Amino acid sequence: MYLRTKPGNIPNNKNFIPITYQELFDEVIFKCIHCENITDETRFVLEQYAISISNPNSKGTHMAYTEKIIAKKLYKKHKSVIECIRSTMDDTNRDEKSDICVFFEKYQRYLNEILGAIKQPFITKRIESSRIDIGNGFLKILCDKKIVIPDKTELIFERKRFGVTYIIQVGMEKGEYYCYTGYYEGEYTGKELVQAVKNDDNNTYVFDTINSAAQKVELEYKNRTGKKTGVNDGVPAGQFTVIHSGKIEAEGKTIDEIKREFL
Protein backbone atom coordinates (compact mmCIF):
# COMPACT_ATOMS: atom_id res chain seq x y z
CA MET A 1 0.00 0.00 0.00
CA TYR A 2 1.26 3.48 -0.97
CA LEU A 3 0.25 6.24 1.47
CA ARG A 4 0.05 9.63 -0.26
CA THR A 5 -0.93 13.17 0.71
CA LYS A 6 -2.97 13.94 -2.42
CA PRO A 7 -4.93 11.69 -4.83
CA GLY A 8 -2.82 12.79 -7.80
CA ASN A 9 0.47 11.35 -6.45
CA ILE A 10 1.07 8.04 -8.19
CA PRO A 11 3.61 5.37 -7.13
CA ASN A 12 6.14 4.25 -9.73
CA ASN A 13 5.62 0.62 -8.70
CA LYS A 14 2.16 -0.39 -9.96
CA ASN A 15 2.01 -3.24 -7.44
CA PHE A 16 1.25 -0.67 -4.73
CA ILE A 17 -2.34 0.33 -3.99
CA PRO A 18 -2.44 4.14 -3.50
CA ILE A 19 -4.45 5.61 -0.61
CA THR A 20 -4.41 9.13 0.80
CA TYR A 21 -4.01 10.08 4.44
CA GLN A 22 -7.49 11.57 4.21
CA GLU A 23 -8.95 8.27 2.99
CA LEU A 24 -7.08 6.39 5.74
CA PHE A 25 -8.55 8.73 8.34
CA ASP A 26 -12.10 8.82 6.92
CA GLU A 27 -12.49 5.11 6.23
CA VAL A 28 -10.41 3.54 9.02
CA ILE A 29 -9.21 5.75 11.86
CA PHE A 30 -12.36 7.86 12.33
CA LYS A 31 -14.61 4.79 12.28
CA CYS A 32 -12.35 2.93 14.72
CA ILE A 33 -12.29 5.87 17.14
CA HIS A 34 -16.08 5.73 17.33
CA CYS A 35 -16.25 1.96 17.62
CA GLU A 36 -17.65 0.89 20.99
CA ASN A 37 -15.54 -2.28 21.16
CA ILE A 38 -12.06 -0.70 21.29
CA THR A 39 -10.25 0.08 24.54
CA ASP A 40 -9.66 3.60 25.82
CA GLU A 41 -5.91 3.13 25.30
CA THR A 42 -6.38 2.22 21.64
CA ARG A 43 -8.76 5.11 21.11
CA PHE A 44 -6.21 7.49 22.66
CA VAL A 45 -3.46 6.26 20.31
CA LEU A 46 -5.73 6.69 17.28
CA GLU A 47 -6.75 10.19 18.35
CA GLN A 48 -3.11 11.19 18.80
CA TYR A 49 -2.25 9.84 15.36
CA ALA A 50 -5.17 11.80 13.89
CA ILE A 51 -3.83 14.97 15.50
CA SER A 52 -0.32 14.34 14.17
CA ILE A 53 -1.39 13.95 10.52
CA SER A 54 -3.59 17.05 10.75
CA ASN A 55 -0.69 19.32 11.68
CA PRO A 56 0.52 21.46 8.75
CA ASN A 57 3.96 20.78 7.30
CA SER A 58 6.59 23.36 6.42
CA LYS A 59 4.58 24.42 3.37
CA GLY A 60 1.44 24.95 5.45
CA THR A 61 -0.44 21.98 4.00
CA HIS A 62 -2.03 19.09 5.87
CA MET A 63 -1.65 15.36 5.24
CA ALA A 64 -5.29 15.03 6.26
CA TYR A 65 -8.07 17.16 7.64
CA THR A 66 -8.97 15.33 10.85
CA GLU A 67 -10.70 18.03 12.85
CA LYS A 68 -14.03 16.39 11.96
CA ILE A 69 -14.12 14.89 15.47
CA ILE A 70 -14.43 18.35 16.97
CA ALA A 71 -16.36 19.72 13.98
CA LYS A 72 -19.06 17.09 14.40
CA LYS A 73 -19.61 18.14 18.02
CA LEU A 74 -19.65 21.85 17.12
CA TYR A 75 -22.18 21.36 14.34
CA LYS A 76 -24.47 19.28 16.53
CA LYS A 77 -24.35 21.88 19.31
CA HIS A 78 -24.86 24.93 17.07
CA LYS A 79 -26.82 23.41 14.17
CA SER A 80 -29.78 25.81 14.47
CA VAL A 81 -27.50 28.86 14.38
CA ILE A 82 -25.42 27.57 11.46
CA GLU A 83 -28.49 26.71 9.41
CA CYS A 84 -29.98 30.15 10.17
CA ILE A 85 -26.81 31.71 8.71
CA ARG A 86 -27.08 29.43 5.66
CA SER A 87 -30.72 30.43 5.11
CA THR A 88 -29.90 34.13 5.41
CA MET A 89 -26.94 34.01 3.02
CA ASP A 90 -29.01 32.07 0.46
CA ASP A 91 -31.59 34.88 0.35
CA THR A 92 -30.99 37.34 -2.50
CA ASN A 93 -33.11 39.93 -0.64
CA ARG A 94 -30.94 39.87 2.49
CA ASP A 95 -29.73 43.03 4.18
CA GLU A 96 -25.93 43.10 3.74
CA LYS A 97 -25.61 45.20 6.92
CA SER A 98 -27.46 42.73 9.14
CA ASP A 99 -25.65 41.21 12.12
CA ILE A 100 -25.78 37.76 10.52
CA CYS A 101 -24.22 39.01 7.26
CA VAL A 102 -21.48 40.87 9.11
CA PHE A 103 -20.78 37.75 11.22
CA PHE A 104 -20.65 35.57 8.09
CA GLU A 105 -18.23 37.91 6.31
CA LYS A 106 -15.90 37.78 9.31
CA TYR A 107 -16.06 34.07 10.09
CA GLN A 108 -16.92 32.47 6.72
CA ARG A 109 -13.64 30.55 6.53
CA TYR A 110 -14.05 28.98 9.98
CA LEU A 111 -17.70 28.09 9.46
CA ASN A 112 -16.91 26.35 6.19
CA GLU A 113 -13.94 24.49 7.67
CA ILE A 114 -16.34 23.00 10.24
CA LEU A 115 -18.89 22.13 7.54
CA GLY A 116 -16.25 20.77 5.17
CA ALA A 117 -14.86 18.47 7.86
CA ILE A 118 -18.23 16.72 8.24
CA LYS A 119 -19.07 16.87 4.50
CA GLN A 120 -21.87 19.40 4.91
CA PRO A 121 -22.43 21.92 2.07
CA PHE A 122 -20.45 25.14 2.45
CA ILE A 123 -22.24 28.41 3.12
CA THR A 124 -21.89 30.92 0.29
CA LYS A 125 -23.81 33.99 -0.79
CA ARG A 126 -26.55 33.23 -3.27
CA ILE A 127 -25.96 34.95 -6.61
CA GLU A 128 -28.11 35.32 -9.71
CA SER A 129 -27.69 32.62 -12.38
CA SER A 130 -26.71 35.18 -15.02
CA ARG A 131 -23.59 36.02 -13.00
CA ILE A 132 -22.35 32.44 -12.76
CA ASP A 133 -19.30 31.72 -14.88
CA ILE A 134 -16.78 28.89 -15.01
CA GLY A 135 -14.25 30.75 -12.93
CA ASN A 136 -13.59 31.77 -9.35
CA GLY A 137 -16.41 30.68 -7.06
CA PHE A 138 -17.88 28.24 -9.57
CA LEU A 139 -16.32 25.24 -7.86
CA LYS A 140 -17.98 26.22 -4.59
CA ILE A 141 -21.37 26.49 -6.26
CA LEU A 142 -21.04 23.02 -7.80
CA CYS A 143 -20.00 21.54 -4.45
CA ASP A 144 -22.61 23.42 -2.43
CA LYS A 145 -25.30 21.98 -4.67
CA LYS A 146 -23.68 18.52 -4.37
CA ILE A 147 -23.30 18.28 -8.14
CA VAL A 148 -19.59 17.76 -7.45
CA ILE A 149 -18.36 15.76 -4.46
CA PRO A 150 -14.68 16.53 -3.68
CA ASP A 151 -12.30 13.61 -4.30
CA LYS A 152 -15.13 11.54 -5.79
CA THR A 153 -16.75 13.31 -8.74
CA GLU A 154 -14.69 13.44 -11.93
CA LEU A 155 -14.94 15.77 -14.91
CA ILE A 156 -13.82 13.99 -18.08
CA PHE A 157 -13.33 14.79 -21.74
CA GLU A 158 -12.51 12.15 -24.37
CA ARG A 159 -10.20 13.29 -27.15
CA LYS A 160 -11.30 10.34 -29.26
CA ARG A 161 -9.06 11.04 -32.23
CA PHE A 162 -5.99 10.39 -30.06
CA GLY A 163 -7.54 7.83 -27.72
CA VAL A 164 -6.87 9.95 -24.65
CA THR A 165 -9.16 11.03 -21.82
CA TYR A 166 -8.58 14.18 -19.78
CA ILE A 167 -9.65 13.93 -16.14
CA ILE A 168 -10.28 16.75 -13.66
CA GLN A 169 -11.01 16.19 -9.98
CA VAL A 170 -11.87 18.65 -7.23
CA GLY A 171 -10.24 18.66 -3.80
CA MET A 172 -10.78 20.72 -0.67
CA GLU A 173 -8.33 21.99 1.93
CA LYS A 174 -8.83 24.57 4.69
CA GLY A 175 -12.31 25.31 3.42
CA GLU A 176 -11.06 26.13 -0.11
CA TYR A 177 -11.74 24.14 -3.27
CA TYR A 178 -9.14 23.45 -5.96
CA CYS A 179 -8.72 21.31 -9.09
CA TYR A 180 -6.09 18.81 -10.07
CA THR A 181 -5.91 17.09 -13.42
CA GLY A 182 -4.27 14.45 -15.59
CA TYR A 183 -4.85 12.20 -18.59
CA TYR A 184 -5.09 8.53 -19.50
CA GLU A 185 -4.30 7.00 -22.90
CA GLY A 186 -6.69 4.16 -23.61
CA GLU A 187 -10.19 3.32 -22.43
CA TYR A 188 -10.70 5.10 -19.12
CA THR A 189 -13.05 3.43 -16.61
CA GLY A 190 -12.05 5.34 -13.47
CA LYS A 191 -9.86 2.55 -12.09
CA GLU A 192 -6.72 3.32 -14.06
CA LEU A 193 -3.72 5.27 -12.81
CA VAL A 194 -3.88 8.72 -14.34
CA GLN A 195 -0.82 10.57 -15.64
CA ALA A 196 -1.06 13.56 -13.32
CA VAL A 197 -0.05 17.10 -14.28
CA LYS A 198 2.78 18.05 -11.92
CA ASN A 199 4.74 21.18 -11.12
CA ASP A 200 8.52 21.67 -11.23
CA ASP A 201 8.85 20.08 -7.77
CA ASN A 202 7.13 16.91 -9.06
CA ASN A 203 4.07 17.58 -6.90
CA THR A 204 0.53 17.47 -8.24
CA TYR A 205 -0.33 20.81 -9.82
CA VAL A 206 -3.42 22.49 -8.35
CA PHE A 207 -5.70 25.03 -10.04
CA ASP A 208 -8.25 27.57 -8.83
CA THR A 209 -10.69 27.00 -11.67
CA ILE A 210 -11.96 24.25 -13.98
CA ASN A 211 -10.98 26.41 -16.95
CA SER A 212 -7.32 26.60 -15.97
CA ALA A 213 -7.17 22.85 -15.30
CA ALA A 214 -8.87 22.07 -18.63
CA GLN A 215 -6.40 24.20 -20.57
CA LYS A 216 -3.33 22.91 -18.77
CA VAL A 217 -4.05 19.20 -19.15
CA GLU A 218 -4.22 19.38 -22.95
CA LEU A 219 -1.06 21.47 -23.09
CA GLU A 220 0.70 18.94 -20.86
CA TYR A 221 -0.48 16.04 -23.03
CA LYS A 222 0.78 17.72 -26.21
CA ASN A 223 4.13 18.57 -24.63
CA ARG A 224 4.71 15.04 -23.32
CA THR A 225 3.60 13.15 -26.44
CA GLY A 226 4.44 15.59 -29.19
CA LYS A 227 0.97 15.09 -30.67
CA LYS A 228 -0.85 18.00 -32.29
CA THR A 229 -4.49 18.30 -31.26
CA GLY A 230 -5.10 21.33 -33.44
CA VAL A 231 -6.26 23.35 -30.44
CA ASN A 232 -4.07 26.02 -28.92
CA ASP A 233 -6.06 26.97 -25.81
CA GLY A 234 -7.10 23.56 -24.56
CA VAL A 235 -10.58 22.09 -24.23
CA PRO A 236 -13.31 24.49 -23.05
CA ALA A 237 -14.28 23.59 -19.49
CA GLY A 238 -17.94 23.55 -20.48
CA GLN A 239 -17.36 20.44 -22.62
CA PHE A 240 -16.20 18.29 -19.70
CA THR A 241 -18.72 15.66 -18.57
CA VAL A 242 -19.58 15.02 -14.91
CA ILE A 243 -19.40 11.44 -13.61
CA HIS A 244 -19.93 10.15 -10.07
CA SER A 245 -21.99 13.24 -9.34
CA GLY A 246 -23.76 13.79 -6.04
CA LYS A 247 -26.98 14.39 -8.03
CA ILE A 248 -28.38 11.61 -10.19
CA GLU A 249 -29.95 14.07 -12.61
CA ALA A 250 -26.56 15.72 -13.21
CA GLU A 251 -24.76 12.46 -14.00
CA GLY A 252 -23.32 12.35 -17.52
CA LYS A 253 -24.08 15.97 -18.33
CA THR A 254 -21.54 18.52 -19.48
CA ILE A 255 -20.66 21.60 -17.44
CA ASP A 256 -22.45 23.75 -20.03
CA GLU A 257 -25.61 21.64 -19.65
CA ILE A 258 -25.39 21.84 -15.87
CA LYS A 259 -25.10 25.63 -16.01
CA ARG A 260 -28.28 25.81 -18.11
CA GLU A 261 -30.33 23.22 -16.21
CA PHE A 262 -29.27 23.53 -12.57
CA LEU A 263 -27.79 26.99 -12.08
Amino acid at 134: I
User: For residue range 167-187, what is the model confidence (pLDDT) as tens digits?
Assistant: 999 988 777 888 999 999 988
pLDDT of residue 61: 54
Task: Tell me how far apart the alpha carbons of residues 220 and 84 are, in angstroms, rounded to a whole number.
Answer: 45
Whole-angstrom CA distances from 161 to 15, 66, 166, 185, 256 are: 31, 43, 13, 11, 22
Radius of gyration of the chain (CA): 20
Domain map (residue ranges) of the chain: 1-66, 147-262
Task: Tell me how far apart the alpha carbons of residues 204 and 198 are, in angstroms, rounded to a whole number.
Answer: 4
Strand bridging mode 18-20 / 2-4? parallel
Task: Tell me how far apart the alpha carbons of residues 182 and 260 are, in angstroms, rounded to a whole number.
Answer: 27
Q: Looking at the predicted structure, is the pLDDT value of residue 130 above 50?
A: no
pTM of the model: 0.53
Task: Please list the residues that pair with 164 across neighbouring strands.
Answer: 159, 185
pLDDT of residue 131: 40
User: For residue range 5-53, what is the model confidence (pLDDT) as tens digits?
Assistant: 666 666 777 778 878 877 787 788 878 877 888 888 888 888 788 777 7
Q: Which of 66-70, 120-124, 165-169 ranks highest by mean pLDDT?
A: 165-169
